[in-house]
Structure 1
Amino acid sequence: MNIAESRRDGNLIIAPSGRIDTTSSPIFDRHLSSVIDRGDTRLVIDLADLEYISSTGLSAFISAAKKVKAAGGRMALAGLNSRIRLVFEMSGFLRLFPVFPNVDAAIA
């Protein structure tokens, strides 16, 4: 898994690529925690290049969402392909996040 970051219109865009699985989910969780701890609380998670996510990967999203909400921020998901969307849907996580077709829509 690789994690890219960029900024646009006051939002931090975090773009993981590859797999968020048992091995990489602690890295992703620490990354999200560190950006929130440094004060970035307007997040767009761009999942367009994500190939796979496990249940441990999903837990990183919940943890980050709680921290963002406590800080009065916003966390949106963008670019979910059909496989990733199905995992979020089956777990009930789609109800927890605003979901957009792409980063541009998430920022607009």
Structure 2
Amino acid sequence: MQIQETRQDGYLVVEPVGRLDSGTSRILDRSLTSAVQRGDVRIILDMGRLDYIGSMGLSALLAAAKRIKAAQGELLLRGMNERVKLVFEMSGFLRLFNIRDA
């Protein structure tokens, strides 16, 4: 998995590329933890190039959301493909996150 970071309208945009599963979730977790520690607490997670998300990926996102909320920040998710969105629906995570289409 690769993670690209850019800035947009006062947000740090984090874009994971590839699969977010048990083998790669630590990479995203470290990236988001590092962002919060350096003061980036307004984060958009652009999921447009994410092919797959598993339970460990969901767990990493939930942990990141808790850290960001504790830092009085905001986490937005955007650009989910239908396969990833279905995982969020089936797990009940759609209601836990602020999700945008684009």
| TM-score bracket, shorter-length normalisation | over 0.9
State the Cα deviation string for residues 15-63 of structure 1 (Å, max 9, x = none): 0010011111111111111111111000000000000011001111000
Give matches, 1:29-108, under 5 Å: 29-102=29-102
User: TM-score, normalised to structure 1's length?
Assistant: 0.92
Measure the CA separation in 1 of the matches of 2:21 and 2:67: 21
What letter corresponds to residue 11 of structure 1 in structure 2? Y
CA RMSD of aligned residues (A): 0.6
- 1:79 positional shift: 0.3
User: TM-score, normalised to structure 2's length?
Assistant: 0.97
Measure the CA separation in 2 of the matches of 1:17 and 1:27: 11
State the 4+ residue runs in structure 1 displaced beyond 2 angstroms.
Answer: none
Measure the CA separation in 2 of the matches of 1:25 and 1:88: 16
**Gaps spanning 5+ residues in structure 2: where?**
none
Measure the CA separation in 1 of the matches of 2:66 and 2:58: 13
- 1:6 positional shift: 0.4
Measure the CA separation in 1 of the matches of 2:86 and 2:30: 25
What letter corresponds to residue 91 of structure 2 in structure 1? S
Measure the CA separation in 1 of the matches of 2:36 and 2:93: 20
What letter corresponds to residue 18 of structure 1 in structure 2? G
Measure the CA separation in 1 of the matches of 2:59 and 2:37: 18
SS of equivalent residue, structure 2 residue 65: helix
Q: Percent identity?
A: 52
